[in-house]
Amino acid sequence: MTVLENRGLTEPMKSAGAMTSALECAMTADDKVIILGEDVADPIGGVFKVTKGLSTKFGTRRVRATPISEQAIIGTAIGLSMVGYRPVAEVMFFDFITVAMDQIVNHAAKLRYMSGGATPAPITIRTTVGGSRFGAQHAQSLEAWFMHTPGIKVVMPSGPRDAKGLLESCIFDDDPCLYIEHMGLAFSTTEDVPVADFRLPLGKANVIRAGTDMTIISYGPMVRPSLEVSTTLAADGIDCEVIDLRTLSPLDLDTIFESVTKTRRAAVVHEATQFCGPGAEISSQIHEQLFGELLAPVVRLGAAYTPVPFSTALSGYPTHDTIVAAVQSAVRA
């Protein structure tokens, strides 16, 4: 994969705008990039506005609004990818992925293997997660299902710069990629993002804070809270290293092991359900590889084992305080 360095101009962007920029750059660079999904064409430009302006600029031939038809969206993307196109399929909410599981799990992820390498399906699926204002069928973090599915890459950015660099990499990657956007990040943080074509490597984690006492491993929406926790704990004399995984599959275990070898403690933090969540695998890998080195068992913090509740009063997600308490208890164990 080509990794383009950040050179040239940057502009302040929020994640939604950074993703639009990634799509625009990809479509400009390669006329085989086709967008498919419900409501993706102007004037609406996607329900989260990520594809706003693209059908006007590139035409509805390339930015194609579809029926409410997730199996057809993903299946069509697979077929397109088999004849040289680089389709970007939008599934409006992560929960709607369930309707297209057959096409994703039985086809996109397996076609390379089942054909002995002959007919891969390098599609990108963009989907959105997070928030609770729509209730339990519009909020589930299902990434562990896809980590458990050999053959598909799983990517989740934590901010605008990564949102652009990772999305472009997914589009031009030769494997199917599930790119998960978080609603809470789309219009919050602003960062300087390269205006031109910009790609970040898939399968490489980003160490965003160096520390010596504890490694906090996170991705997507829990990266910022993890950083804030590290600031809080620094005042308490606990020096945390923070890793943003960026890609959940392939999982950058090298970076994790290197960090935990140094800190000898680890916590995994995510919004996905804790039980059988991504943290279960990461924790197990650390225990298996570094058992003798660890000063405390690896801590996992994920969502409570419940459907996502509607009322914000019922949030089951890790919070600043629960992460702080868990880290403190591990360090003082």
Partner 1 sequence: MSEMITEAAAAVAGERPDDLPDRADLARMYELMLTTTLADNKAREEAKAGRLQAAFYPVRGLEGVCAAMSAALRKDDQLVSTYRNLGDALAKGVSLRSIIAELYGRVGGASKGKGGGMHLHDTSVGFMTTTGIVGSGLPIAAGLALGAQLDQDDRIVVVTFGDGATSIGAFHEAMNLAALWRLPLVFLCQNNRWGEHTPIAEYAGNTDLAARAASYGMTALKVDGFDPIKTWSVLRGAAAAVRRGEGPMFIEAITYRLTGHTGTADFSYVPADELAAALRRDPAPTFRKWLCENGLFTEDELIAIERQSEDVVADAFGFAQASPLPGSEALHTDVFATDPPVEGVS
Active site residues: 138
Q: Is 137 in the site for partner 1 (CB under 8 A)?
A: no
Rounded Cα gap, residues 56 and 41, in angstroms: 8
List the one residue from 33, 63, 74, 245 that touches partner 1 (CB under 8 A): 74
Over the window 158 to 197, marking each residue x when it contacts partner 1 by CB under 8 A and - when it does not, the resulting string is: ---------------xxx----------------------
Q: How far apart are CA 277 and CA 293, in angstroms?
A: 24
User: How far is 303 from 301, CA to CA, in rounded Å?
Assistant: 7
CB of 32 to partner 1, least distance (A): 9
Answer yes or no whether residue 251 interacts with partner 1 by CB under 8 A. Answer: yes
Distance CA(9)–CA(6), nearest Å, equals 9
Q: Using the rule CB under 8 A, is 292 a contact of partner 1?
A: no
Out of 37, 87, 165, 211, the only residue in the binding site for partner 1 (CB under 8 A) is: 87
* Token duo for residue 138: 């519009």
Which CB atom, from 130 or from 203, has the smaller least distance to partner 1? 203
Beta bridge mates, 154: 178, 249
Write the burial class of residue 254 (CB in 10 Å: 0-12 exposed, 13-18 middle, 19+ buried). exposed
Could you tell me how many helices (H) and strands (E) the chain has, helices first? 12, 14
Scanning 68-76, 161-169, 224-232, 321-329 for contacts with partner 1 by CB under 8 A, the matching segment is: 68-76
Q: Is residue 300 within the footprint of partner 1 (CB under 8 A)?
A: no
**Is 80 one of the binding residues for partner 1 (CB under 8 A)?**
yes
Strands of 266-273's sheet in order across = 206-209, 240-244, 214-218, 266-273, 299-303
Q: Tell the smallest beta-carbon distance from residue 248 to partner 1 (Å).
A: 11
By CB under 8 A, residue 310 contacts partner 1: no
State the helix-helix crossing angle for 278-290 and 253-263, rounded to 10 degrees: 60
Bridging pattern class, strands 177-182 and 153-155? parallel
Q: Is 2 in the site for partner 1 (CB under 8 A)?
A: no
Task: Check residue 261 for interaction with partner 1 (CB under 8 A).
Answer: no
> Binding of partner 1 at residue 229 (CB under 8 A)?
no
**Does the footprint of partner 1 cover residue 78 (CB under 8 A)?**
yes
Rounded least distance, CB 323 to partner 1, Å: 25
DSSP one-letter code for 306: S
Among 14, 86, 107, 164, binds partner 1 (CB under 8 A): 107
Q: Which is nearer to partner 1, 152 or 238 (CB)?
A: 152
- Does residue 112 belong to the site contacting partner 1 (CB under 8 A)? yes
Cα-Cα-Cα-Cα dihedral sign, residues 318, 162, 68, 85: negative
Q: What is the DSSP string of 242-291?
A: EEE-SEEETT-HHHHHHHHHHHS-EEEEEEEESTTSHHHHHHHHHHHHHG
Sites of contact with partner 1 (CB under 8 A): 34, 61, 66-67, 69, 71-72, 74-85, 87, 102-103, 106-107, 111-120, 122, 150-151, 153, 173-175, 203, 250-251, 253-254, 257, 285, 288-289
